[in-house]
Amino acid sequence: MVEQNISSLLNQDVDRLKGMQILSLDSVVGETEKCVIVYIFNYYDCETCIDKGFEIVNLIDNSKKREYVKVIVSMFHEVTSTQKRNSYRGFIYKDKNDLIRKELRYIPTPVMIIVDNNCRIRDACIFEISQDKKQLDDFIKKCLSIDD
pLDDT at 18: 95
The total domain count for the chain is 1
The sign of the torsion formed by the CA atoms of 125, 72, 148, 104 equals: positive
Cis bond leading into 108, ω under 30°? no
- The DSSP string of 86-113 is TT--S-EEE-TT-HHHHHTTS--SSEEE
Task: Please tell me the predicted confidence (pLDDT) of residue 129.
Answer: 76
Give the pLDDT of residue 55. Answer: 96
138: domain CATH number?
Answer: 3.40.30.10
The pLDDT of residue 4 is: 56
Please tell me the distance from the alpha carbon of residue 20 to that of residue 119, in angstroms, as a whole number: 8
Provide the residue range defining the domain that includes 82. 2-144
Predicted pLDDT at 48? 93
Q: What's the pLDDT at 140?
A: 95
pLDDT at 131: 77
Helix 133-144, helix 47-64: angle, nearest 10: 30
pLDDT at 132: 81
- One digit per residue, the tens of pLDDT, for the chain of length 148 reads 555 555 666 678 889 999 999 999 999 998 877 889 999 999 889 999 999 999 999 999 999 999 999 999 998 778 999 999 999 999 999 999 999 999 999 889 999 999 998 999 999 999 887 778 888 999 999 999 988 6
